[in-house]
Amino acid sequence: MSLLNKYLDDFEKIYELYQGFNSYINISAIREKEEVFEKHFLDALEAWDLIESCLNQQESTEKPFKILDLGTGGGFPLIPLALVAKRENLNIRFTALDSVAKKLKFIEIIKEKLGLDNIETQAARAEDIARIDSPQREVYDMVLCRSVAYLNIILELAAPLLRIKGNFLAFKQLGENEFADAKNAIEILKFKLMQEHKYSCSGLDKALLVFEKQGRTDAKYPRLYSQIKSKAL
């Protein structure tokens, strides 16, 4: 049985809350039920097998596996993944990061109504919490990122948050030139592309790019966002 069917009651409940919330604070242009299930729920769940296999490779199972969703917006891909992790009793802690505090309100509601105490929300910019003196630097086992910025930009935001051997999962649409443009960033930030998981979502060809961080991130990264953007690696 698919994960969506296994936890269908929970997903129906998330959809109901999403609909109610989206009608007064616009968290997403995706509204129709079928679209929400496909473009938010199923799309997020594409990462599940990869998360499970990274979790299984972890040496110690006592420490929680820490996942950060960078630019989570209304909580995607984070919410469906945190739901499954909670219901499957896995020791995973999720951080929902977004620079806009009001976007995190919906995640707070979901957390409360579905009892997802494995989620923490944080209103901050990724580059601010990734600086060299930050307690969040190089602590995450995995960083997820969907629809935030071009690949070379999000690689610079994600790298300093990941521990060595940690994984970065970028949700991308195929057919873009992004991977070729990110060659330099991948090298400088000591990433290695481990896997390209291709799938189709609502008729679109998509891919989950799975990177592993293979060495410590140089203290000069992340730079100020203005530089990250104007002088992208």
* Interacting residues with ligand SAH (CB under 6 A): 28, 71-74, 76, 97-100, 103, 125-127, 146-148, 157
Q: What is the spatial distance between Cα 36 and Cα 28, in angstroms, rounded to a whole number? A: 10
Could you list the beta-strand ranges (E) of 174-230. Answer: 191-201, 204-213
For ligand SAH, the closer of residues 99 and 165 by Cβ is: 99
Q: In whole angstroms, how close is the CB of 55 to ligand SAH at the nearest point?
A: 21
Q: How far apart are CA 214 and CA 107, in angstroms?
A: 32
Q: How far is the CB of 146 from ligand SAH (least distance, A)?
A: 4
Nearer to ligand SAH, 92 or 96 (CB): 96
From the CB of 30, what's the least distance to ligand SAH, in Å? 8
Task: Quote the CA–CA distance of 73 and 96 in Å, as a whole number.
Answer: 8
Spatial distance between the Cα atoms of 193 and 229, rounded to a whole number of angstroms: 22
Least Å from the CB of residue 1 to ligand SAH: 26
Q: What is the DSSP letter of 24?
A: T
Rounded CA separation 45/85 (Å): 11
The token duo for 96 is 């929902």
Sheet containing strand 162-173, edge to edge, reads: 119-123, 92-98, 65-70, 140-146, 162-173, 204-213, 191-201
Shortest separation between residue 57's beta carbon and ligand SAH, angstroms = 25
